[in-house]
Amino acid sequence: MRSSKTRPLLIIMSQSDSIPVLAIVVPCYNEQEVLPLTNPELLATLDRLATAGKISPKSFILYVNDGSRDATWEIIERLTEEFPGRVAGLDLAANVGHQKALLAGLEKGAEEADLTVSIDADLQDDTAAIDRMVDQALEGADIVYGIRQSRATDTWFKRNTALAFYRLMKRLGVKSEYNHADFRLMSRRAVEELMRYGEVNLFLRGIVPLIGYRQGRVYYDRKERQAGESKYPLKKMLAFAVDGITSFSVKPVRMVFFMGIIFMLVALGIGIYVAIRHLTGHTTVGWTSLVLSVWFCSGVILLGLGIVGEYIGKIYTEVKHRPRYNPSRYLRRPHP
Ligand code: UDP
Ligand code: MG
């Protein structure tokens, strides 16, 4: 059915001939405080892996500047000059959000690299886990998820809302890795497959498991943000959660339908009750119950409308087929 059936085979062959090139993709939004700390650690990771002969010395770090308003791009520019060939920079013309920035980086990175690892700029994810991811890739895995073992450094609120979210996703039937954020390794063919998912409302954690191929897991402890502050305030976190659910599950709409049925049954019951009261001569119908039911039913109707509206909004943004990001500049000097 798929026209791409023969493509993966070719890539496996080319990968086994030579040592793979790895690109570490880092989305950055106002990360001027943390980049000077992140860069040496990621370079050390590349060196360690290259010395062990696991990745090619041509491997590189790719910073994606997601329309930052601080000096992030200037820092990236400087790093590409300081470390020619080993540091690359992709500048997006505007802020498009973490998920789309990451996708832009993966697409660009996979043009030159056989393997990509995506990691946040704040290095809350353990770079030592990258070694184990590459090991699994060398054994034939196409996707390796980084899974958080402990969240001791997250606030009580963040930890519990995140766990509740994973549980809710599971109950709604969304196939996603428990406790996995966007720290993962993907082979080139996995990224190419990912690019065929054309949706604008991107929730990568839900899409990647759908790609298939051999998938592995690596466990690590999540650390504290090295510098700067979280770029995911509560409002963005909630929007992200709603996006994740409504992009992958139509269960909420179905729930509205069942709610409608239940309410019809309740109304029928009340109708019978009123009829009986009428026939037996007790016609004083309570004002309280009337007002209560008006408010309650209106509330439920509005809630239902809201849920349906969320999906219509999604369809609205999808059918427009707007480009997901605008990569304006790419910087990577040749290896010396
Ligand atoms: N990020 C981005 N665009 C945005 C918001 C965040 O590229 O609009 C990046 C950010 O620079 C970081 C990653 O997404 O590399 C995760 O953000 P953060 O660490 O602030 O999230 P948290 O760990 O608090 O969930
Ligand atoms: Mg973080």
- CA 162 to ligand 1 centroid distance, Å: 15
Residue from 120, 225, 234 whose mutation best tests the ligand 1 pocket (most atoms within 8 A of CB): 120
Ligand 1: residue whose CA is nearest its atom 25: 232
**Rounded mean pLDDT, 129-144:** 94
Model confidence at 247: pLDDT above 80: no
| Ligand lying closest to the C-alpha of residue 102 | 1
- The pLDDT score that the predictor gives to residue 5 is 45
Residue nearest to atom 24 of ligand 1 (CA): 230
Higher pLDDT, residue 100 or 248: 100
Ligand 2 ion: nearby residues, β-carbon < 5 Å: 120, 122, 124
For the ranges 100-114, 279-293, 297-311, the one whose mean pLDDT is highest = 100-114
pLDDT for 73 equals: 96
Select from 231, 234, 238 the residue to mutate for testing ligand 1; criterion: most ligand atoms less than 8 Å from CB: 231
| Residue 80 pLDDT level (bands cut at 50, 70, 90) | very high
pLDDT over threshold 50, residue 16: no
Contact 302, 51 (CB under 8 A): no
Closest atom, ligand 1, to C-alpha of 229: 20
Average pLDDT over residues 83-94: 94
- Residue 112 Cα, ligand 2 centroid: separation in angstroms? 27
Please give the distance, rounded to the nearest whole angstrom, from the Cα atom of residue 316 to the centre of ligand 1.
26
Q: Measured in angstroms, how far is the CA atom of residue 214 from the centroid of ligand 1?
A: 28
Q: What is the residue-averaged pLDDT of the chain?
A: 85
Q: Which of 26, 28, 29, 33 to mutate to test the pocket of ligand 1 (most atoms within 8 A of CB)?
A: 29
305 C-alpha to ligand 1 centroid (Å): 32
| Higher pLDDT, residue 167 or 120 | 120
Ligand 1-lining residues (CB < 6 angstroms): 27-29, 31, 66, 95, 97-98, 101, 120-122, 124, 230-232
Of 156-160, 184-188, 328-332, the poorest mean pLDDT is in: 156-160
Separation CA 120–CA 125 (nearest Å)? 7
Does residue 10 carry a pLDDT above 60?
no
Higher pLDDT, 120 or 222: 120
Q: Greater confidence, 81 or 263? A: 81
Sheet holding 327-331, edge to edge: 215-221, 143-150, 180-187, 115-118, 22-28, 60-66, 87-92, 327-331
Q: How far is the CA of 225 from the centre of ligand 2 (A)?
A: 6
pLDDT at 4 over 50: no
Rounded to whole angstroms, the Cα distance separating 169 from 245 reads 6
The bound ligand whose nearest atom lies closest to the alpha carbon of 155 is 1
Q: Is the pLDDT of residue 12 over 70?
A: no
Predicted local confidence at residue 129, as pLDDT: 94
- Distance from Cα 226 to the centre of ligand 2, integer Å: 9
State the first-to-last Cα distance of the chain, in angstroms, to the nearest integer.
45
